[in-house]
Amino acid sequence: MLAHIDRRIFFKTAVAGVAGYFVSPLCLSATPTGPAQATPLLGTARNVIFILMRGAPSQIDTWDLKVGPWTPDNFNATTIGGIDFPEGLLPNLARQLGRIAIVRSMQSTALVHGLLQTWTQIARNPTSATGTIAPNIGSIVALEAEGQRRSDQPLPGFVSLNTGGRVAKQGYFSGLYSPFDAVADPDGVAGLANPVGQGLFTARYDMLKLLDRGTREPSRYGSLLEDMDDFYSSARRMMYEPDVNEAFSFSENDSERYGGTTCGDSCIVARNILAADLGTRYIQINSSGWDHHQDIYLAGAGIYQRGAELDAALANLIEDLANTPGAVRPTLLEETLIVAKGEFGRTVGELTSRDGRDHYFVHSAVFAGGGTVGGKVIGETTADGRFIQDPGWSAGRPAGAEDVAATIYSAMGIDYTTVLDDDPLGRGFPYVPSSPWQAYPIDELFQ
C-alpha cells in the first residue's frame, strides 16, 4: 500500500510552520507498510562518506528535475539514461550518473534547519529521550569497526571535515568514538609534532599520565575525565605519524580539479584518508549554503555557486575512488558508500516573491558506491513535484532519515536493529528507533 498524504493537511501545516517546528503530514496521515521482519544485512561496504548539504538543496532543480517556466535555459535540462537531469548546472555529475542512484521519495519530519540537521546525523528526533544522548551515525560505525582496527592504524574511526554548523558528536558513547574535526588544508594537520622533539614530548606525556592517574582512577568526575583521557590517547596515537599528515595534505592541482573550494578540498582529504587505510571508516563532509530563500537563480551565486561546488567535488570524488584500488574489493568506490543529502527539500513550482524557494518536506538523496547500483531512480513524485506518488521501495512509504541510517548500517554489515543496554537512561538505546514505525534499509539501491 502506498503512503498517501492528505493535501489539505499538507498545506495547512506547510503554511503554518514555515519557520516553526511541526510534525510532517506523513506522520499524520500515512499508512506505512513494510517487511514483516528485519531484512538481511547487506555487508557490501567497508567505508562511508556522508555529505550533509546544509540548508537543503532544491530537489526540483537537481536530483528530481521538474522543468517549467522557472527553469533557467542554461540548465540544459535533458534526459540521461532515462534520468531527467540539469546537465548545464551539474555537468560533471551528469557524466557520473551511471554510478549514481537517486532516491526521490525522501520526506522529512519537520522544517527547522538545526533540528533536522541533527536529526539527519543521529537518525532520530533530537528532542526525544534517546535523542538527547544519541551519537552520530559515524560514532556508531566507529564503535562497530573498532574491533577490526589494526595496530598500524592511528586515525580515529570517525572524521568530520569542514565543520561549519552543527556536527553531532558521540552522544553518550566514549570519547574514542567522537568525530575528529578537521578543516581541509593543503599542508595537512597542524600540531602533529611538538617543537621539543618526540623523545622529550613522550617523557612529558608519560609524566602527565603518572601525575593524573590518582585523579582518573577512579574519578568522581565520571565520564568527563574518561572522555578527556580518550581524546588524549586518540590524539597521541596520531602524533609523529607521517602517514597521517600525508593523508590530510593535497596538491594545488588536485584542489583546482576538485573546484578549489572547501567542499572540494574536503573530498580530496576523504579520498586520501580512505586510500591510506589508517583506521577511519566514516567521514562526514559538511557542505553549507544551500538555503536559497531568495535569488536562487542569480548568476554566479545561488544554486549556481553551490551546484558548481558540489559538481566538481562529488564527481571527481566518485571518479577517483573508482580508479583507486580498494583494501578488500577491486576499487575503493566499490567498498565505499557515498551518501549526499540535505535535511529537507524546497518548495516547488514558481519562485516566491523573493525569487527563491522555501522549506518543503519532500526531497531527494543521492547514493553511490558501496554496492549500490548506479544509473537508477527509486521513488517518484507527482508531475509538479509536490507529493510522493510512488515510494518505490519495499516499505511502501516515503523514506526518512532513519531509513538512510538503516541503509548505512546494513551496507556496513552492522545490525541496524541493535539495542544497547548501557545507556544512562536505563531504557535501552536502539541504533535506529522503531517509532512511529520500523526503519528499514532501502535495499532497492543495491538490486
pLDDT tens per residue across span 87-98: 999 999 999 999
Average pLDDT of the chain, as a whole number? 88
Output phi, psi for 276, to 5 deg. Answer: -75, -20
* The pLDDT of residue 223: 60
Contact yes or no for 296/61 (Cβ under 8 A): yes
CA atoms of 326 and 370, how far apart (whole Å) = 11
CA atoms of 394 and 199, how far apart (whole Å) = 59
Residue 289 — very low, low, confident or very high, per pLDDT cuts 50/70/90?
Answer: very high
CB atoms closer than 10 angstroms to residue 182? 18
Of 59-63, 242-246, 406-410, the least confident: 242-246
Contact yes or no for 433/400 (Cβ under 8 A): no
CB atoms closer than 10 angstroms to residue 389? 16
Cα dihedral 139/165/269/144 (nearest 10): 10
Nearest to 113 by CA among 370, 293, 314: 293
* The pLDDT of residue 180: 93
The mean pLDDT value for 200-214 works out to 63
* The pLDDT of residue 244: 87
Higher pLDDT, 373 or 219: 373
Radius of gyration of the chain (CA): 22
Measure CA of the first residue to CA of the last residue in the chain; give whole Å: 21
**Burial grade of 179 (CB within 10 A; 0-12, 13-18, 19 or more):** buried
* Residue 382 grid coordinates: 507527482
Residue 436 — very low, low, confident or very high, per pLDDT cuts 50/70/90?
Answer: confident
CA atoms of 137 and 143, how far apart (whole Å) = 10
* The pLDDT of residue 37: 75
pTM as predicted? 0.89
| Most confident among 4-8, 200-204, 231-235, 317-321 (mean pLDDT) | 317-321
What separation in angstroms does the CA of 318 have from each of 2, 87, 256, 334? 33, 17, 16, 10
CA atoms of 169 and 118, how far apart (whole Å) = 10
* The pLDDT of residue 346: 98
* The pLDDT of residue 239: 58
Q: Which residue, chain included where needed, has cell 561496504?
A: 45
Contact yes or no for 265/258 (Cβ under 8 A): yes
CB atoms closer than 10 angstroms to residue 284? 26
Contact yes or no for 49/338 (Cβ under 8 A): yes
Nearest to 371 by CA among 447, 265, 309, 318: 447
Is 12's pLDDT higher than 60? no
CA atoms of 375 and 59, how far apart (whole Å) = 17
* The pLDDT of residue 10: 46
Is 302's pLDDT higher than 90? yes
Residue 39 — very low, low, confident or very high, per pLDDT cuts 50/70/90?
Answer: confident
The mean pLDDT value for 154-167 works out to 87
**Tens digit of pLDDT for each residue in 308-360?**
999 999 999 999 999 999 999 999 999 999 999 999 999 999 999 999 999 99
* The pLDDT of residue 318: 98
**Tens digit of pLDDT for each residue in 68-78?**
999 999 999 99
* Residue 421 grid coordinates: 543496554
The residues pairing with 107 across neighbouring beta strands, listed in sequence order, are 362
* The pLDDT of residue 208: 65
CB atoms closer than 10 angstroms to residue 86? 24
Q: Which residue, chain included where needed, has cell 600525508?
A: 246
Cis status, amide bond into 218, omega within 30 of 0: yes
* Residue 57 grid coordinates: 538543496
Contact yes or no for 77/341 (Cβ under 8 A): no
Nearest to 303 by CA among 291, 315, 314: 291
Cα dihedral 2/398/83/308 (nearest 10): 160
Cα dihedral 25/27/30/32 (nearest 10): 150
